[in-house]
Amino acid sequence: MSSAINIFLTGGTGYIGGGVLARLLVHPKAAQFNIKALVRTKDKAAIVTAKFPAITPIIGSNQDLDVLESAAAEADVVFAVADCDDLPAAEAILRGLKKRHESTGKTPVLIHTSGTGLLADHAAGLYAGEDIYDDADAAQIATLSITRIHRDVDLAVEAADTEGYAKTYIVLPSAVYGLATGPLVDAGFQNRFSMQIPMLIKAGLDRGQGGVVGKGANIWPYVHIDDCQDLYIVLLDAALSGSDKAGHGHQGYYFAENGEHNLYDVSAEIARVLFELGKGQRPSPTVFSDDEVKKYFGGPYIGSNSRARANRSRALGWSPGKANVEVLASSRPEIDAILESGNTTIYAIPKWLMAKYEAGH
């Protein structure tokens, strides 16, 4: 690549993407970076312009396919950190990268965000799954059906690498925990909150009692937000090195996980804290009814098993520093922050995505 490195990032106002954007600003090669970030509103763009002049905002969303294609066509590196099930948006970015390749002869880089929800089964909280996926085992990952959530987008990204017009790396965050911090959070630009644990917290606050899906026997891998964001930079550095030490395309799946918990333990800690704060009737969780599962989560997805091992990520040099036991300890700060923000709005998984999950395993 030339001395100037053009970077385009989507999802910069989000929980993960904002942290990646902040890391780019302090990267050792930051002076070489020309960073463009997609933002939805003029207000967010104004924050970037006023406080982070090294970032050029592009106003738009994943629905603005021409904007995505045009921005990708000018990029050496694209970070796609927005909706991992938006196939039209992914295809627009890929069209732009193909144009970049055709016009310059260079092979641009795409670091795309998927998720270990790809591995989710239909346990409904009733049992611990036995299938464990290894990101270093490309043949095992290749067995996953295109009908699973995220998979159609992942395969489109992988195909671009096979065709040779982009080097693609797919990051699969697990259940990310912890409050996001940093300058973009402080500026009111970046979302602080993850999904799984806040969903359980807000459900508990709404019903006045911490709850659990089924028996809570299902298992998910977890990763702290800081460690998750670090993986993107490890991949960027590997891609910019000019070597092929980082597998890409078919060999380019990278889990972000640092241990696992069953959902009962997480739900029990939330219930205990809510009880201590006078927001729950008892210190142990009660079972969500079927109606509550639909109301609070959109369906039984949160009761699934998703088991993963990040062996490829670690072999590349990713070294998560946050101990996995902090998952449980993170509940109290998250509850305090949600109560302080006053934002207890329930976020249920959209019906179309839940239908895809239910049909896809």
pLDDT in tens, 277-308: 999 999 999 999 999 999 999 999 999 999 99
**222-275 per-position pLDDT tens digit:** 999 999 999 999 999 999 998 788 999 999 999 999 999 999 999 999 999 999
- Per-residue tokens: 171: 């990051």
Determine the straight-line distance between the first and last CA of the chain, rounded to whole angstroms: 41
**pLDDT > 90: what percent of the chain?**
92
**28-63 per-position pLDDT tens digit:** 999 999 999 999 999 999 999 999 999 999 999 999
**177-218 per-position pLDDT tens digit:** 999 999 999 999 999 999 999 999 999 999 999 999 999 999
- Per-residue tokens: 299: 């369906």
**149-160 per-position pLDDT tens digit:** 999 999 999 999
- Count Cβ neighbours within 10 Å for each residue of 202-235 and write b for 16 or more, e otherwise: bbbbebebbbbbbbbbbbbbbbbbbbbbbbbbbb
Name 351's Cβ contacts closer than 8 Å, sequence gap at least 6: 298
5-121+132-178+223-256 belongs to which CATH class? alpha beta
**76-94 per-position pLDDT tens digit:** 999 999 999 999 999 999 9
Name 191's Cβ contacts closer than 8 Å, sequence gap at least 6: 13, 14, 15, 18, 180
CA distance 15 to 48: 16
What's the confidence (pLDDT) of residue 5?
A: 97
Q: What are phi and psi of 9, to 5 degrees?
A: -130, 130
What's the confidence (pLDDT) of residue 2?
A: 52
What's the confidence (pLDDT) of residue 347?
A: 83
Neighbouring CB atoms inside 10 A of 242's CB total: 8
**C-alpha dist (Å) from residue 355 to 119, 197, 218, 361:** 16, 22, 20, 11
**306-345 per-position pLDDT tens digit:** 999 999 999 999 999 887 778 999 999 999 999 999 999 9
What's the confidence (pLDDT) of residue 103?
A: 97
CA distance 8 to 35: 6
Element (H, E) at 292: helix 290-297
Give the mean pLDDT of the chain: 95
Residue 361 scores a pLDDT above 80: no
CATH 3.40.50.720 intervals, the chain: 5-121+132-178+223-256
Residue 1 scores a pLDDT above 70: no
